[in-house]
């Protein structure tokens, strides 16, 4: 749940934003303000994760307000003036809603904020790898579909990078898509069991069924390619565990 603050000097615009916030299940409206100074007072007393703020406000405009913040929540600007867009992104705003905007536009920005919040949480805490206790396997917590999902490390077959997401393939389970980089999840996996074999793939070596010219084969007949820059390391692993004559 993201705790939100809405700031707009126009009553109708403020009512629209607060109404939209209340319609989104993962947003919580903490307060709404008609000016930046009232918002500063709220921020000094409450924990806020996300701010929706109009740019063109009297006394202290939205841009200067955001610049003045020592600790910055996620920021989404709302304004009727498109010329402010570049200035908005210069202060690291996540998004920019041009008035009048629909609930669909608002929800799209809200989803971006949720993804950003989840990324920040993971970068601070890690994906949730917990050392195994006696008789208990190690596992990861990942966020997907607005849920926190527990995955047994030993049941991960391979992981595929897809742009800003990774797709985690498991034994007897549907693949899971989560907003993470391949590098960040690689750092959390045991290096003796998992190996990066391609720019876009990490494999669980213990679950490899065979190695063909096409790549690494798993029980499901899925084939993972081995990239040129990773072949030497992977072949070294194969040779170390091989009974074949060279």
Give all strands of the β-sheet with 216-217 in edge-to-edge order.
Answer: 210-211, 216-217, 223-224
Cα separation of 221 and 165, whole Å?
23
Flag residues of the chain having pLDDT under 50: 85-86, 88-89, 128-137
Q: pLDDT tens digits for 132-179?
A: 343 444 788 888 877 778 888 889 999 999 988 999 999 988 899 988
Cα separation of 244 and 238, whole Å?
10
Q: β-strand 50-54 against 2-7: which pairing, if any?
A: parallel
Q: What Rg do the C-alpha atoms of the chain give, in angstroms?
A: 24
Minimal CA–CA distance to 36: which of 84, 75, 3?
75
Cα separation of 192 and 206, whole Å?
10
Number of H helices, E strands in the chain: 7, 15
Model pTM above 0.85: no
User: Which pLDDT score is estimated for 83?
Assistant: 57
User: Which pLDDT score is estimated for 133?
Assistant: 42
Minimal CA–CA distance to 96: which of 114, 72, 80?
80
Helix, strand and coil content of the chain, in percent to the nearest 5, comes to: 35, 30, 35
Task: Kindly tell me the burial class for residue 133, based on how many C-beta atoms sit within 10 Å of its own C-beta (0-12, 13-18, 19 or more).
Answer: exposed
Q: β-strand 165-170 against 139-144: which pairing, if any?
A: unpaired
User: Which pLDDT score is estimated for 239?
Assistant: 83
70 contacts: CB under 8 Å, gap ≥ 6: none
For 41, the enclosing helix (H) or strand (E) is helix 36-45
User: Which pLDDT score is estimated for 125?
Assistant: 52
99 contacts: CB under 8 Å, gap ≥ 6: 13, 78, 79, 80
């Amino acid at each position: 749940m993201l705790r939100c603050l809405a700031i707009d000097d126009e009553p109708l615009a403020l009512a629209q934003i607060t109404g939209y916030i209340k319609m989104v299940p993962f947003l919580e409206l903490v307060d709404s303000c008609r000016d930046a100074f009232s918002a500063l007072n709220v921020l000094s007393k409450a924990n806020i994760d996300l701010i929706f703020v109009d740019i063109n406000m009297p006394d202290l405009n939205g841009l200067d307000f955001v610049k003045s913040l020592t600790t910055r929540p996620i920021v989404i600007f709302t304004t009727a003036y498109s010329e402010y867009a570049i200035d908005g992104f210069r202060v690291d705003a996540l998004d920019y809603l041009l008035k009048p905007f629909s609930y669909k536009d608002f929800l799209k920005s809200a989803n971006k904020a949720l993804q950003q919040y989840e990324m920040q949480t993971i970068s601070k805490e890690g994906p949730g790898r917990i050392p195994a206790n006696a008789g208990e396997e190690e596992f990861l917590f990942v966020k997907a579909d607005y849920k926190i999902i527990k995955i047994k490390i030993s049941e991960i077959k391979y992981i595929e990078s897809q742009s800003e997401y990774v797709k985690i393939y498991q034994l007897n389970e549907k693949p899971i898509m989560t907003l993470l980089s391949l590098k960040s999840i690689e750092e959390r996996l045991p290096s003796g069991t998992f190996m990066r074999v391609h720019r876009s793939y990490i494999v669980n070596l213990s679950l490899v069924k065979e190695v063909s010219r096409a790549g690494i084969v798993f029980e499901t007949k899925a084939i993972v390619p081995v990239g040129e820059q990773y072949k030497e390391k992977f072949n070294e692993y194969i040779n170390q565990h091989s009974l074949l004559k060279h």
